[in-house]
Amino acid sequence: MQWIEFRLEKRLEPPRWLGPSMPFIAVSAALFLGAVILLVSGRNPVVIYQRMFQAAFTNPGALSATLTAATPLLLTGLAAAVAFRMRVWNIGADGQLMIAAVLAAGVGIALGERSIAISLPAMLVAGVIGGVAWALIPALLRAYLRTSEVLTTLMLNYVAPLILFYLIIDSTSYWRDLESPSARVFPQGKTLAESDFWPEYGEGISVPFGLVVGVVLAVLLAVLLRSTRLGFQMKVAADSEAAGHYAGIRTVRLLILVMVISGALAGVAGASQVGDFSHRIEPKALQFATYGYTGIAVAALARYNPLGVVLSAFLVGGMTNAGFAIQGVDLPLGLIGLIQGLILLLVAASEVSSRYRFVFGRRARPEPHGTEPLREIDEQTAAGTGQEAAP
């Protein structure tokens, strides 16, 4: 008796077109499934998607809002991309961003009404130091104690907001505003001097300085990964840690360096959050924004390509902006989150399908346990008596 077999089989030579096309296929499939959900819920998907596009890109001020939403996603996406390319699972960009924001805000407050030429680079450096310091904790634990970085980075994501809440709400720290009338009603952080606000570029369209920094970093990171010795070592170590040891690569030092780079990029995101947007520490806003987790989705959508992260951050930022702009009774914000979740799910599925293929086939059904020995005895008995064995 035959039965149908289904299994995953690793592709020996995946088609060249398959990898680059998978993100587009995943996004298209997610939009199609979203359209089906809209139809089932009694809404016109064509009208909804048109409203989303207009709210994200063409309405007055929409493009500026999309670029604002894309800025932290671009930087946290780069932080995830550089780590994940070496199979170092840094889930902690969220916490690294928060600690970086604390240090950047502290430096900005300390400098006061200084020139932006002094305060901006000082805040950037402080943010990088904060992100690197928070990333070094799981990096050292993984390098020397073989502790899973997934667990340590994830747990540190819960510690970082507690530090922010303590500094702004549960203490009279240097970062807390104790003088303004609004701060006496509800605790809030000190606001930076207006001269320390990071610049914006463009006429009619507001381009945050952090976005410009992110694009420059994406280009530099692409060159680093493709054309330098460090990029080659990361590729070898990602394919096989044993091969990296055999090739003379110091994998422990390389792992720490990759986590440092990833934490530094998340640190730039934290400094940008203070310098470009909030201009003070806002614990609740940073906690619920989940920029680090969304950055992982952005990186996955770009298949961890730094230049692709720029495009995917723009796309996800547009969807986020559109969700907030058109949400209402007829279109809840959760529906936009559902579409984003579908994109992430299908991108993850595309990663599997680009490495493996689905195989269907038929094969003989195995005999029940204990049947085969009895059949052999029947055949031997039949040979001795000249009769045929029972089937």
pLDDT at 9 over 80: no
Residues 69-112 have pLDDT tens digits of 999 999 999 999 999 999 999 999 999 999 999 999 999 999 98
pLDDT at 382 exceeding the cut of 50: no
- Cα radius of gyration rounded to whole Å, the chain: 27
Residue 173 makes CB contacts below 8 A (sequence gap 6+) with 166, 167
Residue 231 lies in a domain: yes
Q: Does residue 198 lie in a domain region?
A: yes
pTM: 0.85
Tally of domains in the chain: 1
pLDDT band of 40, cuts 50, 70, 90:
confident
Q: Is residue 368 part of a domain?
A: no
Residue 154 lies in a domain: yes
Distance of alpha carbon 173 from alpha carbon 155, whole angstroms? 24
> Between the ranges 29-43, 285-299, 327-341, where is the mean pLDDT highest?
285-299
CB contact set of 127 (below 8 Å; sequence gap of 6+): 100, 101, 103, 104, 267, 268, 269, 270, 271, 272, 274
Residue 11 tokens, joined: 């592709």
Give the pLDDT confidence score for residue 301 in this predicted structure. Answer: 86
8 Å CB contact between 200 and 277 = no
pLDDT tier at 360, thresholds 50, 70, 90? low
Looking at the domain assignment, is residue 280 inside a domain? Answer: yes
Mean pLDDT of 145-153: 93
Kindly indicate the confidence band of residue 183, based on its pLDDT and cuts at 50, 70 and 90: confident
Whether residue 7 is contained in a domain is answered as no
Name the percent of the chain lying above pLDDT 70.
Answer: 83
The model's pLDDT over 83-94, given as tens digits with 9 standing for 90+, comes to: 999 999 999 999
What is the average per-residue pLDDT within 149-173? 94
Q: Tell me 194's DSSP state.
A: G
Amino acid at 105: A
> Across all residues in the chain, what is the average pLDDT?
85
Mean pLDDT of 16-39: 81
185-208 average pLDDT score:
91
Q: pLDDT class for 362, splitting at 50, 70, 90?
A: low
Please name the residue ranges forming H helices in 273-332: 283-289, 291-301, 306-326
182 occurs within a structural domain: yes
* Dihedral pair phi/psi, residue 86, rounded to 5°: -100, 10
Residue type, 57: F
Task: Read off the pLDDT band of 128 (50, 70, 90).
Answer: very high
> Could you tell me if residue 362 is inside a domain?
no
Q: Rounded mean pLDDT of 224-234?
A: 91
> In which domain, by residue range, is 297 found?
66-301
